[in-house]
Each structure stands twice: as C-alpha cells, then as structure tokens.
C-alpha cells in the first residue's frame, strides 16, 4: 500500500534496489511516527467487492481523528474515499464527536473532497505544509464544537 502511494520516490536517481530501500525506510519512519503520536490508533483495510483498495488509520482517544486515509492510485476517483468519510461522519454524528484530519496543503483533490463533505479549517497546528480540518455534526455546532476544536488543536500539535 505505502509503495503504491510513493510513486514520487521512483523519480530519485538510483537503482531499483536503492529506491525500494528508500521506500522501506520512509514507511518505517512513518509507522514509528504514527505509533508515537497515536498509540491507540486502529488500522482498517478498505475493500471494494472483496479487493483491498485502501487503508484507514483512526484514533479515537479524544474524538474521531483520521490519522491516515490512503486509496490505491488505481482505485482513486471512484468515490471510495467519499464513501468512507461519509460513513465516518454518520458514526461521528451518532456519538456525537467531530471528525478531524490533516492533509498536505498542496493536495488539491483531497482538499476539494474535504470541502465538499463540509470540513472546515480547524486551526490545529499541523505544520507548515499541512492543513488541519474538522467536521462537526450539527449537534455540536456552537460552544460545544469550539471547546472540542481546542482539544483537537492541542492533540494535533503533539
């Protein structure tokens, strides 16, 4: 899954073995970072008609935080990410809890998807190249959402 998402590393001037080693190192670094920052996160395989097409890593320690949502390149553009996020929004609305995430600032397709689904900037400090976003169910709009968003901002900056 990770290798399929890191096509950019194949642009490195090096042998196939070197690039595979680089991808493996990047994967291990990401996994270690996620484990350190989100020790209670749960991983899910996203399937469509019995075929794995993505992964979802969720942390429920304070609210619903999407640590990572990855759809394989060949499965992108088929509403899989939309379906996953809408299901997550339904679950969050029933709790009720906000859904928070961050995305790379240059990832225009992801930003458009999140905007279409009602995600708003959260104000979370997620680094200079990322944008923190949050969706709040209608029952949390107002003062409850503001206090939850403050907790999200504090957690995202750890």
Q: What is the pLDDT of residues 115-146, one digit of tens each?
A: 999 999 998 888 889 999 999 999 987 644 44
- Find residue 102's DSSP bridge partners: 132
Q: Residue 4's Cα: distance from chain center in Å? A: 16
Q: In the predicted model, is pLDDT for residue 85 greater than 80?
A: yes
- Residue 83: predicted pLDDT: 96
pLDDT at 6: 59
Bridge-partner residues for 66, per DSSP?
58, 101
CA–CA gap between residue 147 and residue 120 (Å, rounded): 15
Tokens of 54: 């993505």
């Amino acid at each position: 899954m990770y290798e399929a998402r890191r096509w950019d590393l194949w642009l490195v001037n090096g042998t196939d073995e070197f690039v595979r080693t680089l991808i493996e190192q990047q994967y291990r670094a990401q996994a270690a970072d996620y484990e350190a920052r989100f020790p209670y996160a749960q991983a899910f395989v996203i399937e469509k008609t019995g075929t794995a097409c993505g992964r979802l890593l969720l942390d429920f320690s304070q609210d619903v935080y999407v640590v990572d949502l990855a759809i394989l390149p060949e499965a992108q553009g088929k509403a899989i990410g939309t379906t996953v996020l809408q299901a997550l929004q339904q679950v969050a609305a029933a709790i009720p809890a906000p859904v928070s995430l961050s995305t790379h600032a240059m990832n225009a397709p992801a930003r458009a998807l999140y905007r279409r689904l009602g995600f708003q900037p959260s104000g979370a400090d997620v680094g200079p190249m990322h944008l923190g976003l949050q969706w709040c169910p209608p029952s949390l709009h107002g003062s409850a959402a503001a206090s939850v968003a403050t907790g999200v901002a504090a957690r995202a900056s750890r």
